């Protein structure tokens, strides 16, 4: 099966209704990631098949749970995962990616240019010292994928979180110990078991909010 057919099949399995050219644009992003990875070491995954499942479809699996969000901050996304993927799929969603590694932020900005992503911005900064351009308004959501321990993620982004902000942590196996260490003032609102087409591994989305 071709890469585009595999991706389209995965999108259908996730029940996503996306603009007609989205699969092609997602694949173009994947090819950019593979190309730049040779020099910038953006991801340990270099195989196109694994890129589709472990990166693109894994990022897409959270999309059904982002309804109502208009401003999303992606923390430590490395090569732009899930931020660029989500921005490609939801043109009405403003995504700000905050990345501490300069070369990774540079790649994200190049991808923004090549993919013509008007709703995406990459920032080279430490998340604990960063503020969005729309401050003092709070983002609707703050997302991380394999970024840090849940408590660290919450502590590092707490200054950005308003009363209605959802902190969205993408995790593998359900992390009971991490949830038990959530800092005071925050609680786990929901834990969602994700199913990623072609990926035989546990995946969870943890949604945390202020109390």
Pairing of strands 166-171, 203-210: antiparallel
Q: Is the per-residue pLDDT at 40 higher than 80?
A: no
Q: Which residues contact 35 (CB under 8 A, 6 or more apart)?
A: none
Q: Is the per-residue pLDDT at 48 higher than 90?
A: no
Banded model confidence at residue 52, pLDDT cuts 50, 70, 90: confident
Closest CA to 95 of 105, 87, 85, 103: 87
The string of pLDDT tens digits covering residues 100-133 is 999 999 999 999 999 999 999 999 999 999 999 9
Banded model confidence at residue 51, pLDDT cuts 50, 70, 90: confident
What is the model's pTM? 0.94
For residue 185, how many other CB atoms are within 10 A of its CB? 10
């Amino acid at each position: 099966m071709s890469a585009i057919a595999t991706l389209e099949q995965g999108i259908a399995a996730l029940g996503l209704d996306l603009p007609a050219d989205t699969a092609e644009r997602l694949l173009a992003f994947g090819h950019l990631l593979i190309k730049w990875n040779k020099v910038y070491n953006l991801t340990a995954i270099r195989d196109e098949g694994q890129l589709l499942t472990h990166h693109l479809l894994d990022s897409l699996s959270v999309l059904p749970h982002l309804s109502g969000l208009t401003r999303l901050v992606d923390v430590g996304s490395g090569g732009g995962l899930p931020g660029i993927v989500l921005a490609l799929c939801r043109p009405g969603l403003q995504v700000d990616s905050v990345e501490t590694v300069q070369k990774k932020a540079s790649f994200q900005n190049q991808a923004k240019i090549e993919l013509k992503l008007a709703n995406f911005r990459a920032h080279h900064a430490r998340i604990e010292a960063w503020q969005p351009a729309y401050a003092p308004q709070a983002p609707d959501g703050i997302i991380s994928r394999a970024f840090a321990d849940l408590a660290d993620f919450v502590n590092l982004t707490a200054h950005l979180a308003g009363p209605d902000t959802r902190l969205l942590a993408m995790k593998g196996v359900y992390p009971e110990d991490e949830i038990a260490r959530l800092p005071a003032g925050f609680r786990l609102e929901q834990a969602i078991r994700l199913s990623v087409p072609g990926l035989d591994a546990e995946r969870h989305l943890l949604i945390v909010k202020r109390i």
